Amino acid sequence: MRIVEVITGGEAGGAQRHVAELTEYLAGRGHETYVLHGGGSWLGDRLQTVAAVKYVASMGRSLSPRDIQALRDLIRAIAPIRPGLLHAHSSKAGILVRAAGQILNIPVVYTAHGLVFTDPTLPDLTRRLYRVLERWGSRRSAAVIVMTAPDLDFVRGAAPRTRAVLIPNGVEVGEPRHGRSWKRPRVGFIGRFSAEKGLNVLIEAARSAAQWEWIIAGDGPLQTVVAQAAARYPHITWKGWVENTLDFFDTIDVLVQPSFKEGLPYTVLDAMAQGVPVVSTPVGGLPELVGGVDTSLLFRPGDGQALLQAVRWALGGRQRLGPQCQQLIARHYSLQQQLAETEKVLLWAGQR
């Protein structure tokens, strides 16, 4: 089948990794694959020998009057390919591609990497607008793939006639961790420095817990907050952007995910697959993922004291929790299972 994968941005990130792994899998299965995105070099570099990748410059991340031009540009890019199916990722591309699919009479499958209107850090008007757009898009999809139970409930309520399927992200389990020792326990965070990730909560908690080393990796809009904390407090270290996350997990005892909004983040999946216990807020798919190991690893969003209490619990039980994390990933979050189940949905939609 000829499939066009579309995502808003082509920079490094969880949704982009999902698209890359899926595109490689589909190409290996004999499908003719194309990828369209709105900017960034990471995705194109990874897929340059696997799929034709095209940059649609007008497709920015935020809602904008330019989206009319982006829709036109998407249609111009898609029409000559004559695909049997469009597969959209991320909120902006998800809306535009479903509109393009209606115009071109091509079925669309949308994969929701966490519905944007669930982000409490966004303005209320923005959240309401995205909710309306996601309801509209769900009704114009051949199928919607989600990664969390709350998102599944939304799609089923918004579009009862649309096929809604829960397929969590998957990863490969690493080798069992060997005992490591350093002067003080190490607590880590890795990801994008943005408001919905709870960076301010993390920094506030880290400032008051000098008995542990705090290793922070990543960059983004709140980079200054992290850099200033690292400069002021010797027990906080900022590593900058880290490309090899598996190496990063070898340097910490516990990972913290203090997000206000999530889907099913690869950072958490990868850490657990490497035997690193994770403490997190109970948002998106994290209650089932992290809470599936131990509910004491979950803490209330925005509550720095509860974050520290969860970290203490994880550090005290990390010899038990590490293997349990790997066992959970192996049973329920297999990469090969995720890819195979996604292909089944795409084939079903493309052959309707």
User: Mean per-residue pLDDT for 124-133?
Assistant: 95
DSSP secondary structure string for all residues of 235-285: TEEE----S-HHHHHTT-SEEEE--SS-S--HHHHHHHHTT--EEE-S-TT
Alpha-carbon torsion (194, 263, 41, 61), positive or negative: negative
In a domain, 14, yes or no: yes
Decide if pLDDT at 178 tops 80.
Answer: no
Say how many Å lie between the first and final Cα of the chain, rounded: 13
The pLDDT of residue 63 is: 76
User: Mean per-residue pLDDT for 155-173?
Assistant: 97
Question: Across-strand partners of 53?
Answer: 35
User: Mean per-residue pLDDT for 307-314?
Assistant: 98
Question: Across-strand partners of 85?
Answer: 3
Three-class secondary structure of residue 311 per DSSP? helix
In a domain, 44, yes or no: yes
Q: Are residues 206 and 310 in the same domain?
A: yes
Which H or E element spans position 18?
helix 14-28
Decide if pLDDT at 159 tops 70.
Answer: yes
Domain count, the chain: 2
Q: Are residues 344 and 266 in the same domain?
A: no
Q: Are 127 and 117 in contact (CB under 8 A)?
A: yes
Q: Are residues 13 and 132 in the same domain?
A: yes
Which H or E element spans position 89?
strand 85-89
Amino acid occupying residue 4: V
The pLDDT of residue 243 is: 83
Question: Across-strand partners of 334?
Answer: 171
The pLDDT of residue 342 is: 98
User: Mean per-residue pLDDT for 194-219?
Assistant: 96
The pLDDT of residue 105 is: 97
In a domain, 176, yes or no: no
In a domain, 17, yes or no: yes
Q: How far apart are CA 152 and CA 310, in angstroms?
A: 28
Q: What is the dihedral of CA 310, 315, 318, 324, to 10 degrees?
A: 10
Locus of tokens 């990868």 = 270
In a domain, 180, yes or no: no
The pLDDT of residue 180 is: 66
The edge-to-edge listing of strands for the beta sheet with 2-7 is 52-55, 32-37, 2-7, 85-89, 108-111, 143-146, 163-166
In a domain, 179, yes or no: no
Decide if pLDDT at 98 tops 90.
Answer: yes
Q: Are residues 75 and 214 in the same domain?
A: no
The pLDDT of residue 174 is: 83
Q: Are residues 21 and 76 in the same domain?
A: yes
Q: Are residues 316 and 246 in the same domain?
A: yes
In a domain, 80, yes or no: yes
Pick the residue with more confidence: 246 or 349? 349
User: Mean per-residue pLDDT for 79-88?
Assistant: 98
Structural domain including 128 reads 2-169+334-350
User: How many CB atoms within 10 Å of residue 128?
Assistant: 12
The pLDDT of residue 13 is: 87
Q: Are residues 162 and 15 in the same domain?
A: yes
Position 179 confidence tier, pLDDT thresholds 50, 70, 90: low
Residue 347 burial class via C-beta count within 10 angstroms: exposed 0-12, middle 13-18, buried 19 and up: middle
Q: Are residues 60 and 160 in the same domain?
A: yes
Q: Are residues 259 and 320 in the same domain?
A: yes
Report the CATH number at residue 198.
3.40.50.2000
Q: For 288-302, what is each residue's pLDDT tens digit?
A: 999 999 999 999 999
In a domain, 177, yes or no: no
Q: Are residues 58 and 33 in the same domain?
A: yes
Question: Across-strand partners of 349?
Answer: none
The token pair at 41 is: 């070099």
Q: Are residues 328 and 339 in the same domain?
A: no
Q: For 227-286, what is each residue's pLDDT tens digit?
A: 999 999 999 999 999 988 889 999 999 999 999 999 999 999 999 999 999 999 999 999
Q: Are residues 130 and 16 in the same domain?
A: yes
